[in-house]
């Protein structure tokens, strides 16, 4: 990114969000202290629904992190130069999303002080062990890529030679983080809502539409800031990626619905019935998600929506919110319904649980803002 | 140096002697594959109202009585037959059987999914088949709970100690933030006693022992045997006589 204006490169509107984010993080920390002293009983979780908002958000944000590959692949494998200005932003978003995902695991633990037991007693038969390796490795790769890119830009140096192989490595690694996250659920016997071979492809498709939607929103938000315009080609390409991924995601959900309902296998039917029809279940999230995703998919066929910045931002918001409701809430909770003994237990996050979650999102926002700030100072230094 | 070596050898011999004098339950205990058979016909004779197995288990293991069902800890409890064995329900099944109470507990599976998914080895299979639980190693990630297809695992959402009416000082209490479950009374087996639920049953509906024991074999051979969700391949070692 290079600054073409004499105005300060740092987007001033962004800096005003920092104190707000800090306050949200402090409130989340305070709520987490209450959870630490009183236990996870302060959440809406129960014996039958033992994972809720925290683990759902972990899952969703691993997807957002993996979606950086949707910028890396066109740029490195297809020489799509228009994504050059998007690359660092995409990788920074991946880093922020990984921070969010990791923190959601920490706040979900009943005994967070014992978390290093995962390293002390490594258990390769557990998918969580592999998830830790994948996420840790992907985090390291992206931190190295972003810091190197900013450092070379700031000092006006040529791109390091090892950056390209490392970026290549990040491509299968991005796929691996979300595949392993899907395997966490898909490998459990007796959970028909999760136990499907198409889950990993579904997770990747929903990640590759929701993550780029968030990236597109950030891009549209920063467009007028000096040095932050990524250009119309990048916006158009991102929109295409979102449309294809959203279409594939909707198709895969349709495939699941057919297999479950046409086979009429009791476990499958009960699980889908509980998710979409049971008044104690997650049906509001599921139907709202379906509605938002379908509306957004239809809207993105209208040329005016793709061209007009406001409409495009609205469509991206719908995609992000739609996928969030299903993957970041309904899907994980829905997997617990009905319980192995046939009970449907209501789950809704409590105020403290939501406060902690806002704190985690706020931390991710701060990481993202710090990344954008570093990028703007690097481009300012290069321009000077 | 020779003295300390001598002491070591004496101690070793003492341990071998102690091992040979241990109660029959403890000797060769690790070589066994433990199993339980629950005779539902006998169990029904004591119904309705019998809750002695649960009471005996929960008081022996300091299982709290938490009124909020969301936060309950359950090692052994009752569920309706049609919920425990949904595939056994058919139009010819007498309604009193379909709605009868069945005691459910950890199945101590041959191939337990909970053990497979645990990221710290806090739950594990012992050589005698018991699916053990180390509440001190458990990090409270609760991955084992969706992994168990029998809902046999409970998580301490709150500090359990205020919910204990009495405390058995021979058995530890737990802290908040860890998972727990039935352990087939391994602490009682080690001192030669039967599991608390087996001992407490007034109609001797439960038989416990090695899968090769004649008493177990006789019960498994003579009647219609059910296992919970055999199609999942977990191979439960709690058997039910229909």
Residue A279 burial (CB < 10 Å; 0-12/13-18/19+)? exposed
| Secondary structure class of B209 (helix, strand, coil) | strand
Domain assignment of residue A184, yes or no: yes
Look at A9-18, A224-233, A353-362, B60-69 and tell me which has the smallest mean pLDDT: A9-18
Contact A51 B142 (CB under 8 A): yes
- Which of A4-18, A186-200, B78-92 has the least mean pLDDT? A4-18
> Which of B66, B70, B82, B111 best tests the A interface by mutation, with the highest count of A CBs <10 A?
B70
**Which of A283-319 are b and which e, b meaning 16 or more Cβ less than 10 Å from the residue's Cβ?**
bebbebbbebbeebbebbeeeebbeeeeebbebbbbb
Q: Compute how many other C-beta atoms are within 10 angstroms of the C-beta atom of residue A46.
A: 22
Q: pLDDT class for B216, splitting at 50, 70, 90?
A: very high
Q: Domain spanning B32-241: which CATH class is it, in words?
A: alpha beta
Residue spans of the domains in chain B: they are: 1-27, 32-241
Residue B180 phi, psi (nearest 5): -145, 170
Residue A175 lies in a domain: yes
**Cα–Cα distance list, A99 to A105, A318, A363 (Å):** 10, 24, 8
Distance CA A203, CA A131 (A): 15
For residue A364, the domain's CATH number is: 1.20.1630.10
**Contact at CB, A188 and B72, closer than 8 angstroms:** no
A1 falls within a domain: no
Report residue A124 as tokens: 């390769």
Q: Is A39 exposed, middle or buried (0-12, 13-18, 19+ CB in 10 A)?
A: buried
Determine contact: A199 vs chain B, CB below 8 A. no
- Asked if the structure places residue A5 within a domain, the reply is no
Using a CB-CB cut-off of 8 Å, the residues of chain B touching A54 are none
Q: What is the pLDDT of residue B4?
A: 59
A333/B contact by beta carbon, under 8 A: no
Which pair of tokens denotes residue B79? 């569920």
Nearest-by-CA chain B residue for A193:
B146
Average pLDDT on A225-235 reads 86
Q: Which regions of B113-218 does DSSP assign to beta strands (E)?
A: 123-125, 131-133, 154-155, 179-180, 206-210
Instruction: Report chain B residues whose CB lies below 8 A from the CB of A118.
Output: 119-120, 139
Is B25's pLDDT higher than 50? Answer: no
Q: Give residue A280's domain range.
A: 12-383
Residues linked to residue B226 through DSSP beta bridges, in sequence order? B240
CA angle, A189 as apex, A184 and A190 as ends, to 5°? 120
Other beta carbons within 10 angstroms of residue A75's beta carbon come to 19
Q: In chain B, which residues have their Cβ closer than 8 Å to the Cβ of A190?
A: 113, 149, 229, 232
Does the pLDDT at position B2 exceed 50?
A: no
Alpha-carbon distance B4 to nearest alpha carbon in chain A (angstroms): 34
Give the whole-angstrom CA distance, residue B105 versus residue B43.
15
H-run or E-run covering B76: strand B76-80
Q: Work out the minimum CA distance from B25 to partner chain A, whole angstroms.
A: 31
pLDDT band, very low/low/confident/very high, at A5 (cuts 50, 70, 90)? very low
> Is residue A4 one of the residues assigned to a domain?
no
Residue A6 lies in a domain: no
**B135-174 confidence digits (pLDDT tens):** 999 999 999 999 999 999 999 999 999 999 999 999 999 9
**How many domains does chain A divide into?**
1
Complex-level ipTM: 0.93
Residues of chain A with C-beta less than 8 angstroms from the C-beta of B175: 111
**Residues B197, B210: Cα–Cα separation, whole Å:** 17
Give exposure, A206-244, as e/b (b: 16+ Cβ within 10 Å): bbbbbbbbbbbbbbbebeebbbbbbbeebbebbbebbbe
Q: Which residues of A touch B121 (CB under 8 A)?
A: 121, 123
Total beta-carbon pairs less than 8 A apart between chain A and chain B: 139
């Amino acid at each position: 990114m290079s600054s073409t204006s004499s105005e300060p490169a740092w987007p001033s509107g962004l800096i005003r969000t920092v104190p707000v984010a800090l306050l949200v993080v402090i409130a989340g920390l305070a709520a987490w202290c209450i959870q630490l002293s009183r236990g996870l009983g302060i959440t809406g979780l129960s014996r039958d629904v033992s994972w809720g908002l925290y683990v759902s958000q972990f899952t969703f944000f691993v997807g957002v992190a993996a979606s950086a590959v949707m910028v890396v692949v066109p740029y490195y494998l297809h020489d799509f130069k228009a994504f050059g200005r998007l690359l660092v932003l995409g990788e920074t978003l991946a880093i922020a999303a990984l921070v969010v995902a990791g923190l959601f695991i920490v706040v979900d633990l009943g005994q967070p002080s014992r978390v290093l037991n995962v390293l002390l007693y490594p258990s390769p038969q557990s998918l969580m062990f592999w998830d830790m390796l994948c996420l840790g490795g992907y985090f390291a790769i992206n931190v190295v890529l972003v810091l190197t890119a900013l450092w070379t830009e700031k000092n006006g140096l040529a791109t390091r030679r090892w950056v390209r192989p490392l970026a290549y490595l990040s491509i299968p690694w991005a796929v691996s983080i979300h595949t392993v996250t899907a395997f966490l659920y898909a490998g459990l016997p007796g959970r028909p809502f999760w136990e499907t071979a198409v889950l990993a492809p579904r997770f990747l498709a929903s990640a590759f539409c929701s993550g780029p939607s968030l990236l597109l929103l950030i891009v549209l938000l920063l467009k007028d800031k000096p040095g932050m315009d990524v250009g119309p080609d990048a916006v158009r390409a991102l929109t295409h990626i979102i449309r294809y991924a959203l279409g594939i995601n909707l198709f895969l959900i349709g495939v699941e619905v057919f297999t479950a309902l046409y086979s009429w296998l009791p476990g499958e039917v009960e699980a889908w019935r509980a998710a979409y029809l049971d008044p104690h279940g997650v049906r509001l999230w599921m139907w709202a998600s379906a509605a938002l995703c379908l509306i957004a998919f239809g809207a993105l066929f209208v040329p005016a929506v793709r061209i007009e910045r406001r409409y495009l931002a609205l469509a991206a918001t719908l995609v992000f919110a739609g996928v969030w409701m299903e993957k970041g809430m309904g899907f994980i909770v829905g997997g617990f319904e009905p319980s192995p003994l046939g009970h449907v237990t209501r789950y809704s996050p409590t105020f403290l649980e939501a406060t902690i979650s806002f704190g985690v999102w706020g931390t991710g926002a701060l990481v993202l803002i710090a990344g954008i700030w570093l990028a703007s100072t690097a481009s300012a230094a290069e321009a000077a | 140096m020779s003295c300390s070596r001598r002491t070591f050898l004496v101690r070793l011999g003492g341990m071998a002697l102690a091992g040979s004098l241990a109660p029959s339950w403890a000797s060769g205990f690790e070589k066994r594959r433990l199993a339980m058979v629950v005779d539902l016909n006998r169990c029904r004779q004591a119904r309705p109202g019998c809750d002695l197995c649960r009471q005996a288990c929960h008081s022996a293991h300091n299982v709290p009585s938490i009124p909020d069902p969301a936060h309950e800890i359950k090692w052994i409890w009752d569920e309706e037959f049609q919920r425990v064995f949904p595939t056994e329900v058919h139009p010819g099944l007498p309604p009193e059987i379909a709605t009868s109470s069945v005691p459910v507990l950890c199945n101590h599976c041959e191939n337990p999914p909970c053990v497979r998914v645990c990221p710290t080895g806090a739950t594990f299979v012992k050589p005698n088949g018991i699916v053990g639980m180390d509440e001190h190693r458990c990090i409270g990630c609760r991955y084992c709970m969706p992994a168990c297809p029998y809902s046999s695992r409970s998580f301490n959402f709150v500090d359990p100690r205020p919910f204990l009416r009495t405390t058995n000082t021979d058995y530890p209490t737990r802290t908040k933030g860890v998972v727990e479950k039935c352990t087939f009374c391994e602490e009682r087996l080690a001192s030669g006693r039967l599991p608390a639920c087996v001992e407490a049953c007034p109609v001797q509906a439960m038989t416990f022992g090695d899968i090769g024991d004649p008493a177990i074999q006789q019960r498994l051979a003579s009647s219609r045997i059910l296992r919970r969700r055999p199609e999942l391949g977990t191979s439960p070692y709690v058997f039910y006589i229909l």
